[in-house]
Amino acid sequence: MGSSLNKPELLKNGKRLDGRDFNELRPLKIEAGILKNAAGSAYLEWGNNKVLAAVYGPKDAMPRHMADPTKAIIKCRYSMAPFSSIEGHGRSGPNRRAIEISKVTKEVFENVVMLEEFPGNEIDVFIEILQSDGGTRAAGITAASVALANAGIKMKDLVYAVSAGRIGEHVVLDVNMIEDNYSDADMPMTISPRNNNVLLLQMDGGFSKQQFKEAAKMVIDAGKKISSIQRAALENVYNDKKEDE
Amino acid sequence: MRHFVIPGDKILDRQMRIENAYVEAGTTHSAVLGFYDDERNSIIPLEGAWKPRIGDLVIGIVSSVGRNGGTYSIDLTEFISGLVVAGKFSTLDFKEGDIIEATIQDIEHKNLALLEHPKALKKATMIKIKPVKIARVIGRAETMIKQISEYTGCSMVVGKNGLIWLDGGNVALATDAILKIEREAHLSGLTERIKNMLEKESKR
């Protein structure tokens, strides 16, 4: 993990280590509807992150005592594959970190899914990180959002998530693993694009008020691009079938 | 015109009650992935679970029989079950595993449907497709069902819950046609394409 003693140089000639500008996203690719057994699914590649999201349900809530007769419940499981990372993630089942991310992801989707449509039922969201390179919770939420839409579950919005960070005086967008470990701040945000409501905001390190505003603006600007990629992924599922007529 | 919509897309600048949409701050937004038809002001979902409605014709499998007979639980989908209660003078006699067709009389708690007019169907081919595509299998004024029956000689019962019962005639061809409808339900000119396919295949 990062420490101030062995901190590497994160900026070179005004660019980041991987050659990106401060407000530049890593290349993002999403494919929807790739798992046949799931009600909805999505595969996402975001830089070196590779994420698979699957949605099952709505189905009877199990165990029964968890069922809510007035609305559906969401169960979310974020997990990192043992081979996902250069560090020792995911080798011994869910750890504190995975449980926390599962919980915050669940709370994001509780705000957008129309739960009252399916009383007494549950909706399962599985997020599997196949390869990780920083910002996996954001990648997981972005993929799960597409998977939920692909399952035809009624939602108020198609949310996206992306992280912002700070390297010295500079606010940067979409931090990768090395920036995440050694930068001065890291802030994943989930936004509901129809009204720019913030559904998730976590922060490591700190921003000044001015930097925070700049980071939030960067996230919302980048969100337009992420949203359009999500939309294209969902639309592509149906375009492919048109071609093989 | 039909527009592709995803959850959250604004479809109208005013309030309107539309199925699969919701109203927020005076505007109407889509709640599902689908097509918005701006002439008919309706959203055609591309995916999604079936929501029972009064009057829907459904096909189900008897999952259990009440202790004294007369009440039957029916499996309609994974998460919606039906209940048949026989009247005083009824002569119903279903066993576990029987296939029945019935109409929804009432809905309790959104996942229990009370059924009326139950009829036993004999054991034959059953296929299950996405419930959102059932409307296209039926077609406007049942044209699609009639067309498939005409070319294949199958008798068909199409349940709104996604189950289709097929018996007699060329079941394999009818199944192919139904699966083709499921795959291509969102494209226009479907009736014509299914007709061409049935014509070509039935001559073989």
On whether any CB of chain A is under 8 Å from the CB of B8, the answer is: yes
The count of structural domains within chain B is 3
Taking the C-alpha atoms of residue B152 and residue B172, their distance in angstroms, rounded to an integer, is 9
* Residue A184 pLDDT greater than 80, yes or no: yes
Closest among A242, A195, A234, A223 to A34, alpha carbons compared: A234
* Contacts with A233 from chain B: Cβ below 8 Å: none
What chain A holds in terms of domains, given with CATH numbers, is 23-240 (3.30.230.70)
Note down the domain range covering B146. 125-203
* Residue A181 pLDDT greater than 90, yes or no: no
β-strands A121-131, A73-80 pairing = parallel
pLDDT of A87: 65
| Band of residue A85 on the pLDDT scale cut at 50, 70, 90 | confident
* Residue B146 sits in the same domain as residue B191: yes
**Is residue B135 a part of any domain in this protein?**
yes
Please tell me what DSSP assigns to residue B169: S
CATH of residue B98: 2.40.50.140
Closest among B94, B100, B91, B103 to B123, alpha carbons compared: B100
pLDDT of A86: 67
Taking the C-alpha atoms of residue A101 and residue A202, their distance in angstroms, rounded to an integer, is 11
* Residue A244 pLDDT greater than 50, yes or no: no
Q: How far does A194 lie from chain B, in Å, by closest CA?
A: 6
* Residue B108 sits in the same domain as residue B173: no
Taking the C-alpha atoms of residue A110 and residue A129, their distance in angstroms, rounded to an integer, is 21
* Residue A26 pLDDT greater than 70, yes or no: yes
pLDDT of A5: 65
**Is residue B95 a part of any domain in this protein?**
yes
**Is residue B51 a part of any domain in this protein?**
no
Q: Tell me how many residue pairs between chain A and chain B have CB atoms under 8 A apart.
A: 86
CATH of residue B33: 2.40.50.100
* Residue B117 sits in the same domain as residue B129: no
On whether any CB of chain A is under 8 Å from the CB of B110, the answer is: yes
Stretch A84-105: mean pLDDT: 82
C-alpha to C-alpha distances, A151 to A7, A48, A59, A77, B7, nearest whole angstrom? 44, 26, 13, 17, 12
Residue segments in chain B with a per-residue pLDDT below the cut of 50: none
Residue that terminates a domain, selected from B76, B100, B121: B121
Stretch A174-183: mean pLDDT: 89
Q: How far does A138 lie from chain B, in Å, by closest CA?
A: 19
pLDDT of A90: 59
Please tell me what DSSP assigns to residue B198: H
H/E segment holding residue B197: helix B190-203
Contact flag B31-A121 (C-beta cutoff 8 Å):
no
**Is residue B50 a part of any domain in this protein?**
no
pTM over 0.90: no
| Band of residue A91 on the pLDDT scale cut at 50, 70, 90 | low
Closest among A76, A41, A62 to B47, alpha carbons compared: A41
Residue that terminates a domain, selected from B76, B94, B121: B121
Q: How far does B114 lie from chain A, in Å, by closest CA?
A: 17
Stretch A37-64: mean pLDDT: 92
Contact flag A194-B10 (C-beta cutoff 8 Å):
yes
* Contacts with A150 from chain B: Cβ below 8 Å: 33, 47
* Residue B111 sits in the same domain as residue B160: no
**ipTM of this predicted complex?**
0.85
**Which of B24, B47, B109 comes nearest A152 by C-beta?**
B47
**Is residue B190 a part of any domain in this protein?**
yes
* Residue B135 sits in the same domain as residue B157: yes
* Residue B129 sits in the same domain as residue B198: yes
**Is residue B111 a part of any domain in this protein?**
yes
Residue that terminates a domain, selected from B65, B92, B121: B121
**Is residue B84 a part of any domain in this protein?**
yes
Any idea what the Cα angle at residue A243 is, between residues A239 and A244, rounded to 5°? 125
Q: What token pair was written down for B107?
A: 């809905």
CATH of residue B171: 3.30.1370.10
Stretch A193-205: mean pLDDT: 93
* Residue A76 pLDDT greater than 90, yes or no: yes
Q: How far does B39 lie from chain A, in Å, by closest CA?
A: 22
Taking the C-alpha atoms of residue B195 and residue B176, their distance in angstroms, rounded to an integer, is 12
**More confident of the two residues A10 and A231:** A231
| Band of residue A245 on the pLDDT scale cut at 50, 70, 90 | very low
pLDDT of A62: 86
Contact flag A40-B31 (C-beta cutoff 8 Å):
no
pLDDT of A243: 44
* Residue A117 pLDDT greater than 80, yes or no: yes
* Residue B143 sits in the same domain as residue B131: yes
